[in-house]
Amino acid sequence: MPTETRELRLARRPEGLPDADTWDITTATLPDPAEGEFLVRVTHLSLDPAMRGWLDDRPSYLPPVGLGEVMRAGAIGTVVASRNERFPEGTTVSGGFGVVEYAISDGRGVVVAEAEDVAPETWLGVLGGTGLTAYFGLFDVGALADGETVLVSGAAGAVGTVVVQLAKIRGCRVIGIAGGEEKCRFVVDELGADACIDYRGQDVDAELARALGDDGGVDVYFDNVGGEILDIALMHLARDSRIVLCGAISQYNETGAWQGPANYWQILVKRARMQGFLVFDFAKRFPEGRDALLGWLREGRITPRADIVDGTVEDFNDAFLRLFRGANIGKVVLRLGA
Ligand SMILES: NC(=O)c1ccc[n+]([C@@H]2O[C@H](COP(=O)([O-])OP(=O)(O)OC[C@H]3O[C@@H](n4cnc5c(N)ncnc54)[C@H](OP(=O)(O)O)[C@@H]3O)[C@@H](O)[C@H]2O)c1
């Protein structure tokens, strides 16, 4: 039987933060799945800061979402009709289904997301692009060694919460940076960081110097935010340190020039290395990353944390803005039709 689905489409390219005018909600009728295909009812949408970049028509690692196109998004869903034996009816799957209620898939880029002890939001968080970003960013790009000193910004966010916990597993000294006292308490008390600096209420430069002590420096700076905090971090590097350029959320809604690091010469002074990366670069090793992360989850060494918003595809924009307002602790997920 054909299935009606509501879909969120890009109506206008936003200047700065997206708003209700950025989107159209349309209704489509999906045909029954053809041979090799299956129909998915989307239950959870992954909300990611990178989605903001996909709305701009400028060169990036993926083509922008086109005007009139369905908004791209990672999601979890349930197979409700199937003509593909790898994904029978009832299977929980993870894939790039977009901001829709239902999607037809042929299985490309889709993985089975089932384990009795793992919640759907954790498949998008610790076991999804988020956790894999932390894992490959910290261990491969950051070349983390046991016992080093790690600084991570956005420490109470989706990627940051995993970075903190992974670095603690490796016996590192971990200093987080996050917005607000509540977040900082969470980063120290629940994630186990050694210190956390509230960049909204504290002098980051002075607090970082204090946390590092007289001869201390940062061996790995895991940068989720860019801008001013990156500039400050550059002044506190250890010799041969690594800066993992994961994201620059402080700049994503800039309508003018982005704030670049004025203190970049410290990379020379400290013989440091700054490297950008995309989690997709490690796609072939995702099974390795997922296995390791699942193992630590089951041992209780990583605690997953999600910021779940219940709603419909119409609530996408409000839920998405939580990322830029800093309203979330952990992974932002829009749960559809709960
Ligand atoms: N390279 C990759 O492959 C890859 C993959 C996934 C994610 N990323 C990047 O990783 C970063 C974190 O992503 P996520 O999914 O984990 O998001 P998130 O950290 O859960 O959410 C974003 C957080 O950023 C902080 N923030 C917002 N505006 C800010 C500003 N102006 N200055 C400083 N902090 C600000 C807020 O926390 P506060 O309240 O603490 O400000 C907010 O909670 C993003 O930059 C994202 O683009 C990269």
pLDDT computed for residue 171 by the predictor: 98
SS3 of residue 276 by DSSP? strand
- Res. 338 pLDDT band, cuts 50 70 90: low
The alpha carbon of 204 and the centre of ligand 1 are apart by a number of angstroms equal to 18
- Which residues, at least 6 apart from 26, have a Cβ–Cβ distance to it below 8 Å? 6, 7, 9
Q: Write out the H or E segment, with its range, that includes residue 129.
A: helix 129-136
Q: Which of 310, 52, 78, 326 is nearest to 184 (CA)?
A: 326
The protein residue with its alpha carbon nearest to ligand 1, atom 27, reads 324
What digits encode the pLDDT tens for the residues 112-166? Answer: 998 889 999 999 999 999 999 999 999 999 999 999 999 999 999 999 999 999 9
Q: Which atom of ligand 1 is nearest to the CA of 227?
A: 32
Statement: residue 12 has pLDDT above 80:
yes
**Mean pLDDT, residues 214-218:** 91
**Mean pLDDT, residues 289-303:** 97
The alpha carbon of 91 and the centre of ligand 1 are apart by a number of angstroms equal to 31
Do the strands 331-336 and 306-311 form a parallel or antiparallel pair, or are they unpaired? parallel
The alpha carbon of 260 and the centre of ligand 1 are apart by a number of angstroms equal to 17
The protein residue with its alpha carbon nearest to ligand 1, atom 46, reads 247
Ligand 1 pocket mutation pick from 152, 199, 225 by most atoms within 8 angstroms of CB = 225
How far is 70 from 30, CA to CA, in rounded Å? 14
Q: Which atom of ligand 1 is nearest to the CA of 180?
A: 39
Question: pLDDT averaged over the chain?
Answer: 97
- Res. 2 pLDDT band, cuts 50 70 90: confident
Note if the pTM is more than 0.75: yes
Q: Which atom of ligand 1 is nearest to the CA of 330?
A: 20
**Mean pLDDT, residues 297-302:** 97
How far is 153 from 197, CA to CA, in rounded Å? 9
Q: Which of 183, 172, 107, 165 is nearest to 293 (CA)?
A: 165
Statement: residue 216 has pLDDT above 60:
yes
Q: For residue 88, with 0-12 CB atoms within 10 Å meaning exposed, 13-18 middle and 19 or more buried, which class applies?
A: exposed
> Distances in Å between the alpha carbon of 207 and those of 125, 135, 195?
30, 27, 10
How far is 31 from 326, CA to CA, in rounded Å? 40
**Mean pLDDT, residues 40-58:** 97
- Res. 236 pLDDT band, cuts 50 70 90: very high
What digits encode the pLDDT tens for the residues 65-91? Answer: 999 999 999 999 999 999 999 999 999
- Res. 337 pLDDT band, cuts 50 70 90: confident
Ligand 1 pocket mutation pick from 224, 244, 255 by most atoms within 8 angstroms of CB = 224
> Distances in Å between the alpha carbon of 46 and those of 153, 196, 201?
21, 26, 30
Share of the chain above pLDDT 90, in %: 96
pLDDT computed for residue 116 by the predictor: 84
**Mean pLDDT, residues 7-24:** 97
- Res. 328 pLDDT band, cuts 50 70 90: very high
The protein residue with its alpha carbon nearest to ligand 1, atom 45, reads 247
The token pair at 48 is 């990611």
Ligand 1 pocket mutation pick from 152, 159, 253 by most atoms within 8 angstroms of CB = 159
The token pair at 137 is 């960013």
What residues flank ligand 1, with Cβ below 6 Å? Answer: 48-50, 129-130, 133, 154, 156-160, 178-180, 183, 224-225, 246-250, 277-279, 323-324, 326, 328
The alpha carbon of 304 and the centre of ligand 1 are apart by a number of angstroms equal to 17
